[in-house]
Amino acid sequence: QPADLESFSAELTGLEIITDPAQLTKLSQDYYTFSPILQPLLNDKRGDVVVRPTTEAEVIQAVTACVKWRLPLTVRGAGTGNYGQCVPLQGGVILDLSKMQAVKWVKPGIACVEPGVKLAALDKETRGSGWEIRMLPSTYRTATIGGFIGGGSGGIGSITYGQIRDRGNLLAVRVVTVEDEPRVIELRGDDVYKVAHAYGTNGIITELEIPLAPAYAWAEAIVAFPDFMTAARFGQVFSDSDGIIKKLVCICADPIPTYFAAFRNVIPVGSHCALVLVAESSLEPFAALVNEYNGTICLQKSAQEASKGSTLVEYSWNHTTLHARSVDPSLTYLQTMFPSDKELKLVERMYQHFGDEVMMHLEFIRMGGEAIPAALQIVRYTTPERLAEIIRYHEDHGAFIANPHTFVLEDGGRKTVDVEQLRFKERVDPYGLLNPGKMRAWAERK
Ligand code: FAD
């Protein structure tokens, strides 16, 4: 270990410190492996030491030592991000917050939690008092709430509540600054977006207030359709059916269902399918809608049955890609927002244009009050040039791509420099120690 690291570790008496090389490797990685572009860029990146605080006071202790020795500091939740968000580009310290798991309180409609609580555990706890988390990533079993806010965007539930970035979906955060004498700052209201989705470049979140939704018993269903556009239109109309309570509207074009080993004998060969979560109390009107679109319900589970074993949640969002890649690791994916259009003309055009090369996987979400098709298409990867060409073709035709093949914050979903985030970083991380290399605006500031 270099001298500064030894001195650093010596100042962390009482904290859990990990230096075992195999553990260091594991705790330096995330799921950037979904991207053939990111793999060669990130495969050899390692932190030098992992620190696992259990309290905010221990976070401050670790940060004080980091600042003293000017060590890069990368915050980590469960490390399930897809863009190398928590991969330390310049080594240094990995601050693993997965042990800070307290649920501080649950009131009607709001929970106050520590960042390391797993989303599944939090959901289970709030359900006890009749509330649930508004939206979950499909990694909810392992992912932490801090990591979801720091690096995620939305997921199961976004069809009703929109995305994390929508005002009201995050109420407050406590942030530890990375200064000679770290401060604790509380941000509320719109100010929370100074640190949300900033990849941990803007302060260390040690507590969050999260809004909740009334809890429902969610039934699950797979509906098969003989042609893709009927499945897609069903998805749009189901999403627009305000009287039917739902949490997931995922549409997969053939051959995606063939990657779902568990459903090989369930989904008819050659079908396109909808994976849905619908409130048990809405099953009747749901069945009527399926009927109207000549769909076939080939699997249906009550909430009780769905709570045991595998759930459709873990076939949706980026789990769809996970299943596809487990069959064919050369596959990768895109993240797209199609414009609001009830006829889904651009979806149809892209579906027909790319055929099997870009397999259509829609996730309907609510945006600006309308249900729109977002997509996590599965791509048969050939070369970086071809991937860039596919992205450009989508953009040229009016689809928005949040590029999952970059670890740079601004080059992914944002596209522009967030001046507020940059100003906030200047205040809370004057030495630029937090997750260096991820925020372009910081590297290029004058
Ligand atoms: P990490 O990967 O550990 O961290 C993510 C980012 O947040 C990092 O930049 C980290 O530095 C920062 N961070 C973590 N904790 C803090 C903190 N306390 N303070 C400040 N910054 C912090 N994402 C979605 O949004 N929706 C999905 O449906 C979805 N599905 C997925 C499916 C699969 C199969 C995979 C592999 C990924 C998926 N993801 C999805 C991405 C990811 O799983 C989620 O965003 C997840 O919530 C991240 O949580 P985590 O604890 O693993 O975060």
Domain total of the chain: 3
Candidates 86, 312, 376: which one to mutate for ligand 1, based on the most atoms within 8 Å of Cβ? 86
CB count within 10 Å of CB 253 equals 25
State how beta strands 336-337 and 358-359 pair: unpaired
Candidates 76, 95, 158: which one to mutate for ligand 1, based on the most atoms within 8 Å of Cβ? 76
Q: Is residue 406 part of a domain?
A: no
Reported as a single tens digit per residue, the pLDDT across 135-153 is 999 999 999 999 999 999 9
Q: Is residue 430 part of a domain?
A: no
Ligand 1 pocket, residue 376 CB under 6 Å = no
Q: How far is CA 325 from CA 21, 34, 332, 378, 385, in A?
A: 28, 8, 7, 9, 21
Q: Is residue 274 part of a domain?
A: yes
110, 184: one domain: yes
> What is the structure's pLDDT at 5?
85
User: What does the alpha-carbon distance between residue 29 and residue 17 come to, in Å, rounded to a whole number?
Assistant: 17
- Pick from 88, 96, 87, 66: nearest CA to 5: 66
Q: Is residue 411 part of a domain?
A: no
pLDDT band per the 50, 70, 90 thresholds, residue 4: confident
254, 349: one domain: yes
- Pick from 223, 242, 196, 167: nearest CA to 85: 196
156, 300: one domain: no
CA of 83 to the centre of ligand 1 (A): 9
389, 324: one domain: yes
Q: Which residue has the least CA distance to atom 46 on ligand 1?
A: 148
224, 356: one domain: yes
Report the C-alpha dihedral over residues 199, 339, 244, 377, rounded to 10 degrees: -60
231, 191: one domain: no
220-249: burial string, b at 16+ Cβ within 10 Å, e else = bbbbbbeebbebbbbbbbbbebeebbbbbb
User: In this structure, what CATH number is given to the domain that contains residue 72?
Assistant: 3.30.43.10
Reported as a single tens digit per residue, the pLDDT across 292-327 is 999 999 999 999 999 888 899 999 999 999 999 999
142, 253: one domain: no
Summarize the confidence of residues 50-58 as an average pLDDT: 98
> Which of residues 96, 114, 147 is at a domain's end?
96
Contact (Cβ atoms closer than 8 angstroms) between residue 217 and residue 244: no
Q: What percent of the chain stands above pLDDT 90?
A: 93
Ligand 1 pocket, residue 95 CB under 6 Å = no
Summarize the confidence of residues 50-71 as an average pLDDT: 97
Summarize the confidence of residues 425-435 as an average pLDDT: 97
Summarize the confidence of residues 119-136 as an average pLDDT: 97
Which element (helix H / strand E) includes 345?
helix 345-354
134, 32: one domain: no
Ligand 1 pocket, residue 137 CB under 6 Å = yes
Residue 281 has pLDDT above 70, yes or no: yes
> Which of residues 77, 96, 115 is at a domain's end?
96
Q: What is the ipTM of this complex?
A: 0.99
pLDDT band per the 50, 70, 90 thresholds, residue 1: low
143, 65: one domain: no
Q: Is residue 418 part of a domain?
A: no
> What is the structure's pLDDT at 149?
98
Q: Which two tokens stand for residue 146?
A: 């801090």
Q: Is residue 387 part of a domain?
A: yes
Q: Which two tokens stand for residue 365?
A: 């979400």
pLDDT band per the 50, 70, 90 thresholds, residue 157: very high
CA of 294 to the centre of ligand 1 (A): 38
Ligand 1 pocket, residue 413 CB under 6 Å = no
Average pLDDT, the chain: 96
131, 88: one domain: no
Reported as a single tens digit per residue, the pLDDT across 314-365 is 999 999 999 999 999 999 999 999 999 999 999 999 999 999 999 999 999 9
- Pick from 70, 54, 46, 69: nearest CA to 17: 54
User: In this structure, what CATH number is given to the domain that contains residue 140?
Assistant: 3.30.465.10
User: In this structure, what CATH number is given to the domain that contains residue 366?
Assistant: 3.40.462.40
208, 242: one domain: no
185, 303: one domain: no
CA of 145 to the centre of ligand 1 (A): 8
Ligand 1, atom nearest to 321 Cα: 34
Summarize the confidence of residues 46-55 as an average pLDDT: 98
Q: Which residue has the least CA distance to atom 4 on ligand 1?
A: 147
Ligand 1 pocket, residue 317 CB under 6 Å = yes
Ligand 1 pocket, residue 79 CB under 6 Å = yes
What residues make up the domain containing 59? 3-96
Ligand 1 pocket, residue 77 CB under 6 Å = yes
